[in-house]
Amino acid sequence: MTSTAPITGNIALPTTGPTAAAGNVDHSGRNRLVIALMLAATFVVFLNETSLVVAIPRIMEDLNIEPSTAQWLSTSFMLTMAVVIPITGFLIQRFSTRSIFIAAMSLFTVGTLLGAIAPTFVVLIVGRVIQASGTAIMLPLLMTTVMTLVPPATRGKTMGNVSIVMSMAPAVGPTVAGLVLAVFDWRWVFIVMIPISIAALLLGITKVKNVTDPSKVSIDVLSVILSAVAFSGLIYGLSSLGESASGEVLIAPAIPIAAGAISLTLFIIRQLSLQKTDRALLDLRTFVAPGFAVSISLMMIMMAALFGTIILLPMFTQDVLGLEPIQSGLLVLPGSLIMGLLGPVVGRLYDRVGPRPLMIPGAIVVSASLWSFTMLAETTSPFIVVAIHIPMSIGLAFMFTPLFTSALGALKPHLYSHGSATIGTVQQLAGAAGTALFIALLTVQSVALAADGSSETHALAGGVQLAFMAGGILSIVAIVLTFFVKRNAPEEVSQKNPAAQ
pLDDT of amino acid 212 = 65
What does the pLDDT look like over 479-489, one tens digit per residue? 999 988 877 65
pLDDT of amino acid 99 = 87
pLDDT of amino acid 363 = 93
What type of residue is 181?
Answer: L
Number of helices (H), then strands (E), belonging to the chain: the values are 21, 2
Q: Average pLDDT of the chain?
A: 79
Instruction: Tell me: pLDDT of 491 over 60.
Output: no
In the chain, the N- to C-terminal Cα span, in Å, equals 12
Distance in angstroms (rounded) separating the CA atoms of residues 93 and 148 = 12
Cβ count within 10 A of residue 288: 12
48-52, 278-282, 470-474: segment of lowest average pLDDT: 48-52
pLDDT of amino acid 171 = 67
pLDDT of amino acid 358 = 92
Instruction: Tell me: pLDDT of 352 over 90.
Output: no
Q: Is the model more confident about 3 or about 426?
A: 426
Top mean-pLDDT range of 126-135, 228-237, 249-258, 269-278: 126-135
Cα–Cα separations (whole angstroms), residue 318 to 290, 325, 361, 461: 44, 7, 32, 11
pLDDT of amino acid 21 = 35
**Per-residue confidence band for 244, with pLDDT thresholds at 50, 70 and 90:** low
Top mean-pLDDT range of 7-11, 28-32, 352-356: 352-356
Instruction: Tell me: pLDDT of 288 over 50.
Output: yes
Percentage of the chain lying above the pLDDT 90 cut: 12
pLDDT of amino acid 461 = 87
Distance in angstroms (rounded) separating the CA atoms of residues 110 and 106 = 6
pLDDT of amino acid 126 = 92
What does the pLDDT look like over 96-134, one tens digit per residue? 888 888 998 999 999 999 999 998 889 999 999 999 888
**Residue 245 in 3-state DSSP?**
coil
What does the pLDDT look like over 373-414, one tens digit per residue? 999 888 889 999 999 999 998 998 898 888 878 887 778 877
- Residue 318 is classified by DSSP as I
Cβ count within 10 A of residue 184: 12
**Residue 4 in 3-state DSSP?**
strand
pLDDT of amino acid 256 = 87
pLDDT of amino acid 22 = 37
With CA atoms as reference, report the closest residue to 398 among 432, 369, 436, 441.
369
pLDDT of amino acid 18 = 34
Q: For the residues 313-331, what does the mean pLDDT come to? A: 81
Q: Which residues, in sequence order, are bridge partners of residue 14?
A: 4
Question: Counting every residue, how long is the chain?
Answer: 501
* Domain boundaries, given as residue ranges, for the chain: 25-500
Instruction: Tell me: pLDDT of 14 over 60.
Output: no
CA-based radius of gyration for the chain: 22
Instruction: Tell me: pLDDT of 16 over 50.
Output: no
pLDDT of amino acid 248 = 59
Q: With b meaning 16 or more CB within 10 Å and e meaning fewer, what string describes 93-115?
A: bbbbbbebbbbbbbbbbbbbbbb
Distance in angstroms (rounded) separating the CA atoms of residues 448 and 469 = 17
Tell which CATH architecture fits domain 25-500: Up-down Bundle (1.20)
**Per-residue confidence band for 23, with pLDDT thresholds at 50, 70 and 90:** very low
Distance in angstroms (rounded) separating the CA atoms of residues 81 and 99 = 19
**Residue 12 in 3-state DSSP?**
strand
